[in-house]
Structure 1
């Protein structure tokens, strides 16, 4: 297994491509990902104006890649041989078309959708500018039978099983360098189980191996709704299509609770707001915004967590900045 070492393109999104941006990308890919997942042939227009940020890693026979292309990406040239793979595309911005050019595409994955497809022969692909996507290359032997007579499965990217797979793959990027052989095997097994769940369009929320991914998916969802008065374990369980009991068990496996996580994150956001250089909210406004019952509850919770009241904390950071 390789740690993600593919460098980000030197060109920032929205700027012109830096000289050698594509060469740096290709060199990093070949060094870190290896021959098992070769790069396709890109069009000259793509390599000339290559403004792509990326990260990639492998876990055994699974490859994970995140791409954010400010510029369009298009492959071209002859396509030979056989590719017996299952690939999954999760697109959060732009679109990803298989069988480019776009006008003759066989299948297009728009923003907010996923596609899990068996690839039996090489295919070109094309993206529009400002496309952001996660691509997984998975072993066909384990997943193709679940597709039955279908070539592919597609649907919304916010489906519960897709959210869990995305959360788990993101965790792998963060932890891969520290995993021993047993950790690598566990990470791989969970990836395969979650990919199978996507193919089946359901997952077993009581499966212990999926507990870390379930907890992380719930945290990702909670982080996007911290100011929502409806945020709760019940709401998270409903959105993820799991039982509240199994969601609580997933958090408990890591020594946490859903409510404690939400409160901690709200306190963190309130602390950051206290140090904002402009437009600072009052203590009562912060308490209301981050869904504390009242100012007194907020002040007590803040002091317990940070050792100072919100006002004391704001004063200390102001004094330190002078």
Structure 2
């Protein structure tokens, strides 16, 4: 491949054909020409408005797109024999064109489609469509795609894991070294295989770290909820509690410990801010009371909340959180 083998960028773009040409140029620079962007109809580029995240990890590329205007590609004879594509449609719909009979297969909101795209000639989306699209190496995935198409619900656990991992890769890619980039790519492909194959197991050693990542991200969003537990997270992620606990055990930490430590971390930040009392912070971050927070805080940071404030919260660096 020419050009860089990894990169990520995002933009909100609106305008006319001239501004759209800039979007195409950025895509080409990111992918090195390995994943050509299709031609679009004049109506689509004459007036457009979209949010666009794009990521390339070696021979894998994926986008997250939200369109405020309709988009349609122009029919083309270009074939993509070496690519498999996966569409996750969160809102709106995504219509796929096919040369066999010039008809369209529409993927509605809440569904995904994984297919060999050698015969793909165009696609179309209505306004306000939100979707993720993955372009993947056919040599790795084609054997799993029977009849050239796999479809299903994006609510499936393995699809949610893939979507969560893709978001994490996009956000962290600039910080990753060569080993991290290869690990990110390998996990993306393993998760797509899980989407394609009915034998997915969340206890797989390759997939367990992604399950842990998804659970941590979900837990962080629910830290102030009184009912947050392993059972709640397992239900939201579509796996059993035992599967989730095993995944965390493989990482050397329990989920309960992770939730407690994250709540203590947020409580410490609130104490440093100084606007709430210890009892108010305890209630907000779901500790039983101020005394309960004080006991756990001292065990974690070596001093009580009151001592922490007196010592100068803004200058204090607890021993358990010092940079290595």
Q: TM-score, normalised by structure 1?
A: 0.77
C-alpha distance in structure 1 between counterparts of 2:69 and 2:186, whole Å: 34
C-alpha distance in structure 2 between counterparts of 1:201 and 1:234, whole Å: 24
* 199, 203, 210: which one aligns with 2:196: 199
- CA shift at 1:8, angstroms? 1.0
Note if 1:215 corresponds to 2:212: yes
C-alpha distance in structure 2 between counterparts of 1:271 and 1:97, whole Å: 50
C-alpha distance in structure 1 between counterparts of 2:264 and 2:182, whole Å: 36
- CA shift at 1:232, angstroms? 1.6
Larger deviation, residues 204-213 vs 298-307: 298-307
Aligned partner of 2:290 in structure 1 is 295
What's the secondary structure of 1:124's corresponding residue?
strand
| CA RMSD of superposed structures (Å) | 3.6
- CA shift at 1:94, angstroms? 3.3
Q: 1:77-226 to 2 correspondence within 5 Å?
A: 77-84=74-81, 85-99=83-97, 105-110=104-109, 112-149=110-147, 151-155=149-153, 157-226=154-223
What's the secondary structure of 1:171's corresponding residue?
helix
1:167/1:202 Cα in 2 relative to 1: closer, same or farther (>3 Å)? Answer: farther
C-alpha distance in structure 2 between counterparts of 1:219 and 1:228, whole Å: 14
* 2, 5, 10: which one aligns with 1:2: 5
* 217, 229, 232: which one aligns with 1:232: 229
CA displacement 1:205-228 (0-9 Å, x = unmatched):
222122221111112222343333
- CA shift at 1:274, angstroms? 7.2
- CA shift at 1:105, angstroms? 4.0
What's the secondary structure of 2:169's corresponding residue?
helix
The 8 Å contact of residues 98 and 107 in structure 1, kept in 2 or not, is answered as: yes
Note if 1:63 corresponds to 2:58: no
- CA shift at 1:126, angstroms? 2.3
Listed as ranges, the gaps of 5+ residues in structure 1 are: none
1:17/1:252 Cα in 2 relative to 1: closer, same or farther (>3 Å)? Answer: farther
Q: TM-score, normalised by structure 2?
A: 0.77
1:60/1:276 Cα in 2 relative to 1: closer, same or farther (>3 Å)? Answer: same
Note if 1:309 corresponds to 2:302: no
Note if 1:259 corresponds to 2:256: yes
C-alpha distance in structure 1 between counterparts of 2:193 and 2:131, whole Å: 20
1:33/1:308 Cα in 2 relative to 1: closer, same or farther (>3 Å)? Answer: farther
Listed as ranges, the gaps of 5+ residues in structure 2 are: 315-324
What's the secondary structure of 1:4's corresponding residue?
strand
- CA shift at 1:303, angstroms? 6.0
What's the secondary structure of 1:99's corresponding residue?
strand
Kindly indicate which of the two structures has a greater share of residues assigned to strand: 2
- CA shift at 1:38, angstroms? 0.7
The 8 Å contact of residues 211 and 244 in structure 2, kept in 1 or not, is answered as: yes
What's the secondary structure of 2:121's corresponding residue?
coil
